[in-house]
Structure 1
Amino acid sequence: MSFMKQLSEFVIPFLLPTMLAVSGLPATTPKVERSTVGVVPAAVKEEATERQHNLHKRLLEVNPNWAGKVHEEFDRNGVEALNNEVTLLQKHFELVIARLNAADISDLSRSQLDQRSANIQRLRDYMVEGDFPQNIFVPGRRPVFIDPWGTHCAVGHLIATSGHADLAQRINREHRLDVLKNIQTEGLGEWQLASGLRLDELVLIQPHYQFRMRSQTIEYPAEIEALVLGDSSAVLEALKAGELKVGARCGGKTLLHFAAASGDLALVKRLVDMGADLNGVSTLGCDEDEIAKGGKHSRFEVRWDGSTRVTSANHYLSKGRVYKSVRGSFVADVLQDFYGGMDGKNALEYATSDPRPSKHGVSMHAYYGKRLPFGNPDKEISPLDEVKNGRAEVAKWLREQGLK
């Protein structure tokens, strides 16, 4: 037997373990554990698949043309879209815009490319604003080109805002509740060719809107409406002219309560300087019996120095002008006049109370910032942050005055 063979068969097997033991190293080859990094558990995969299936099912309700289309960028945020009509429609538009941006547009002319880019931005702005038409016409879901309050559907909005408002109105007169493929209004084909958007893309854009069974609208006096929307000048002018007294109430709330809820520190200080009662508390604007008078479609009239009047309408009602903006909807939900207001609350509580959404429909502030891009990129602060910061400043100042 050769020396090398003896070494490999007899010496190394006996000496190597001894040498390793002395060195402190293991004598056997360590067992390698399989890495689980990057491995997605089956349960997580199933959950994601279920979420995607549920969202796709809801998208099919909004537009049947989602059939056979799967969006690759679905994520957990999609679950939010299942909760209410506005966010569902926003998710629909978000996914449509993603498809538009990913489409092959090599066959388009320079003019068509420019128009396409502009129309995609218009659609994005429309999605962000979240003001969609109301289907008060037929049960179930149905396209509504322009509703009775002048709110355009997405395609109608693109047509009107691209300089063809007359065409949008003619389509509405002839085909208000029709799907796009059935619309025969003269001029639509020419607009589509110039728009840079293909017919199948416009067909996918057009939502079917859910029938609204109940609705509420609210009306404030002009001075209060302006204040809720962020402009205190009408209140100040009325006070200066003697048309309003500093202790005046509207729907059970003082001017100081409205100013605090709106986050207007300058007005809060001015009212206190004029003798407003820091410790004054609110009363209810109306009770549940009054609210019940509204029935399916309720109109709330919040009045100076009187109770809130609730009457019934025989048709769907938009929520009111204060609900047309992020700021206004937030402040209005803090005031809670759809519930008759709040009883026994002081100015500090109005500056710190959380908003309480109405029972029918989702307010703009509730989904603000959840879809990108959101808001005016030129503004340093969003309107929602602006009102929240203002209310925080009011609350701080009121606490400094001893209010609890």
Structure 2
Amino acid sequence: MSIFRFPLMVWLGIGILIISLGIRQSFGIFMMPISDTFQSGREFFSLAIAVQNLMFGMFQPFIGMAADRFGAKRIVALGGIAYALGLSLTSIATSSGVLFLSIGVLVGLGLSATSYVIVLGAVAKVVPAEHTAKAFGLTTAAGSFGMFAVIPGAQSMLANYDWQTAMQVFAVLCTVIIAFSVFMKSATSEGQSQTTADTQTLRQALAEAFRHPGYWFIHAGFFVCGFQVMFIATHLPSYIADKGLPGNTAAMALAYVGIFNIFGSYFWGVMGDRFNKRYVMTSLYLMRAVVLSLFVTLPLTTETAIVFGAAIGFCWLGTVPLTSGLVRQIFGPRYMSTLYGLVFFTHQIGSFLGAWAGGRIYDFYGSYTPIWWATVVLALAAALLHLPINDKPLVRASLQPA
């Protein structure tokens, strides 16, 4: 299937992800100005972002269940409202408690309803199974364009205005998500036929997944992904600043993460359609281990920082079409938002630990070196975890609703 023949839902999903994830991935460059405003160490903002990621993950299974039952349209609209409200409150926060509520809880809720789990769950219901990984890769890739587009804009606003103004602009941008949701199909019109899989209840689907050993290996691998990407997104700007490089180097490095993630996500998605997803995933994590090792050992300059951004960007979110593709391949599309939502919760536990531990370790040791090497070890572990997964689609007998 040509990408130009994909249903409208794919293109709406791309637009939603550009805004939702573009804003989210820019939070790292706010660490130093917000920490200066609240006169705190880096652990304070790291913990706020860690809470956001934990809430993002905790809400995700329930949001996924609601999307499977009521359709993605309403969920995305409510998520856009929560996202905008959280950013607005962040811009006027004067205490740590308000900041944790706004950028932590409310933004976490908004993200859970406007990011990959809901969008890819909706896409899975309208795209043929044999083209799922490619569609997921395209959605993930184009969504990554937001990182390339939003981060330089955020850096410019920080340079010319202040972080509060940037947050207010982001809040206005979230209203576009609400507008996009209007054109999404409802749950009753997403073309689901009453097959054997459709008669399966949610309880049966969860029991089936929990009994499948591969499902837990998928959880473990995605935990590693969350730990790595959120540590890098949150702490790379501060790490680069500590090395005395120009202020725009971090923004450029993250922008290169975004632009090369566009190509990488689509590439890994296409590879997932052509080859065994388990082996493709193992290759991706091995590439991450090599890139991270070289970044830590080589001298850091503006050039090497940008090259690192490009290299790690190429394998940044390639895990998303592969992981979601594995869930869809094994268990089918019916409860994908729920099952992938649970996997994403594990991803966000990793994100929580990556964001928080980065600040904690830096404040304790005065260096990021120990956690950089921890990400290398985790990448090697994740590469091995995907090899024993049984990825054959489950064959179900006729199911009766409980």
Q: TM range, normalised to the smaller chain?
A: under 0.3
Taking CA–CA contacts closer than 8 Å with sequence separation of 6 or more, which of the two structures ends up with the larger relative contact order?
2
Larger Rg: 1
Select the structure that is richer in strand.
1
* TM-score where L is the length of structure 1: 0.25
Greater percentage in helix: 2
